[in-house]
């Protein structure tokens, strides 16, 4: 494993501690990074907070920033103004503008452009893209073909089956309790 490449520049005119202006890191595990611009490659990071995050080949647990660009990586939780995600997986993403070509567990955005990949839950005002595969999608405007696993009929059948199962379980508990 090679030595981590780190460079940081700080504002010397202000004597109080401030966050770094730039932070570059490669091939190293990191707990927490806070800077104006963060560029990471082949790292595992617990938390990143920055105006701009550029991440390649690694894993981030939590990412917060204005602009997040992720390639070939995994992110558990991200919140941003704009996220561009290519290949890999995101657990939960919250963003005003999201461009995703990969797998997402839950995406909440104002405008989403979805490409190759699958999504669990999409909640967005606008959705654009190619063929979208989603378990559940709630969108104001959809400008793409959508393939959903859960439709209105499936939800109705699930509700009916869940109600019947709950009624049966409650009846069994009542019978057992009486004896």
pLDDT of 10 reads 35
The answer to whether residues 108 and 169 belong to one domain is no
pLDDT, one tens digit per residue, over 93-103 is: 999 999 999 89
Q: Are 54 and 41 in contact (CB under 8 A)?
A: no
pLDDT, one tens digit per residue, over 107-141 is: 999 999 998 788 888 999 999 988 888 888 888 88
User: Is residue 68 scored above 90 in pLDDT?
Assistant: yes
The answer to whether residues 29 and 59 belong to one domain is yes
Q: Are 68 and 53 in contact (CB under 8 A)?
A: yes
Give backbone dihedrals phi and psi of 8, rounded to 5 degrees, phi first.
Answer: -140, 140
The answer to whether residues 139 and 165 belong to one domain is no
Q: What is the mean pLDDT of residues 17-37?
A: 74
Four-CA torsion 139, 144, 148, 151, nearest 10 degrees: 60
Domain count, the chain: 2
Q: How many CB atoms lie within 10 A of CB 15?
A: 7
pLDDT of 175 reads 82
pLDDT of 22 reads 73
Residue-range definition of the domain harbouring residue 172: 151-179
- Token pair recorded at residue 52: 């701009």
The answer to whether residues 45 and 118 belong to one domain is yes
Contact partners, residue 31, CB within 8 Å, separation at least 6 = 45, 46, 47
The answer to whether residues 66 and 143 belong to one domain is yes
């Amino acid at each position: 494993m090679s030595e981590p490449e780190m460079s940081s520049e700080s504002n010397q005119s202000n004597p109080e501690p401030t966050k770094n202006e730039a932070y570059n890191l490669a091939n190293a595990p990191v707990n927490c990074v806070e800077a104006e611009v963060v560029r990471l490659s082949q790292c595992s990071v617990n938390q990143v907070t920055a105006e701009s995050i550029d991440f390649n080949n690694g894993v981030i647990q939590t990412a917060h920033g204005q602009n997040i660009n992720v390639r070939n990586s995994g992110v558990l939780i991200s919140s941003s103004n704009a996220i561009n995600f290519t290949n890999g997986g995101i657990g939960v993403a919250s963003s005003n503008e999201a461009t995703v070509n990969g797998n997402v567990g839950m995406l909440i955005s104002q405008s989403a452009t979805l490409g190759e990949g699958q999504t669990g839950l999409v909640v967005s005002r606008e959705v654009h893209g190619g063929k979208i595969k989603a378990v559940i999608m709630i969108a104001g405007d959809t400008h793409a073909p959508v393939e959903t696993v859960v439709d209105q009929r499936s939800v109705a059948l699930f509700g009916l089956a869940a109600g019947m199962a709950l009624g049966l379980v409650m009846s069994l508990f009542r019978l057992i309790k009486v004896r």
